[in-house]
Chain A
Amino acid sequence: GIQVEQSPPDLILQEGANSTLRCNFSDSVNNLQWFHQNPWGQLINLFYIPSGTKQNGRLSATTVATERYSLLYISSSQTTDSGVYFCGARGQNFVFGPGTRLSVLP
């Protein structure tokens, strides 16, 4: 089945900093999503982005399907951005990467 990798595994930022999270997938996918899991465990859907670029406020994402990767950009980070960011991709089933744990310090 499809393999999904994420980097970096952990990231610590000062409030106001920018960051880029990466998701690599091993095969062609027909669905690519980014999620934020907050400290209470809720999975929040950030982007459905099988290809192209989308922006939502301080967050944006780009997927280059032909090169099998997706990037999540967080600008002007805030403490509420802390949590774990997962990407997921659908081959035969929808598979999650291991996540990037982000800590934003005040």
Chain B
Amino acid sequence: DSGVTQTPKHLITATGQRVTLRCSPRSGDLSVYWYQQSLDQGLQFLIHYYNGEERAKGNILERFSAQQFPDLHSELNLSSLELGDSALYFCASSGYGQGAPPFYGYTFGSGTRLTVV
């Protein structure tokens, strides 16, 4: 158990629908990062939140949005889903907050496998 919790583990939904993926970072970590891993695209950085504020955006579609809540968990919202959105979505966290573990890099959750049919 890495300490980063992602739910759900699997999600099957139809095109045009909207889903929400959830991530709880390691205790004490203030930063949350989202990544998408498609079959032919590798691991792509989507977005970074730090203590509730958006810090950086990567290759995130306008149909996708994210937020980080006061308890530091994060949600990734995917809307108007297309077949090409089928992928593994990973969340990672890193620590800089008081009580956070020493910085030994980014710790990844086990991912949410999204299948759009």
Interface size on B, residues (CB 8 A): 20
Known: A41-B88, A45-B2, A98-B42. A93 touches B56 (CB 8 A): yes
Report which of A41, A43, A92, A98 forms a contact with B113, defined as CB distance below 8 A. A41
Can you name the residue of chain A whose Cβ is closest to the Cβ of B48? Answer: A93
A86 within 8 A of B: yes
Which one of B90, B105, B111, B113 has the highest number of Cβ atoms from chain A below 10 Å of its Cβ? Answer: B105
Q: Which residues of A in the span 86-100 have a Cβ within 8 Å of any Cβ on B?
A: 86, 88, 92-96, 98-99
A-B contact count (CB 8 A): 40
Question: In the complex, which residues of chain A have a beta carbon less than 8 angstroms from the beta carbon of B105?
Answer: 31, 33, 45, 48
Are A42 and B45 in contact, CB atoms less than 8 angstroms apart? no
Q: Tell me the dominant secondary structure on chain B's binding face.
A: strand
Known: A86-B43, A93-B48. A45 touches B111 (CB 8 A): no
B49 within 8 A of A: no
CB proximity of A87 to chain B, nearest CB, Å: 11
Interface size on A, residues (CB 8 A): 17
Q: How far is the CA of A79 from the CA of B43 in the complex (A)?
A: 24
Question: In the complex, which residues of chain B have a beta carbon less than 8 angstroms from the beta carbon of A99?
Answer: 42
Contact mask for chain B residues 73-109; partner A; CB cutoff 8 A; 1 contact, 0 none: 0000000000000001010100000000000111110
Q: Which residues of B contact A (CB under 8 A)?
A: 2, 33, 35, 42-43, 45, 48, 56, 58, 88, 90, 92, 104-108, 110-111, 113
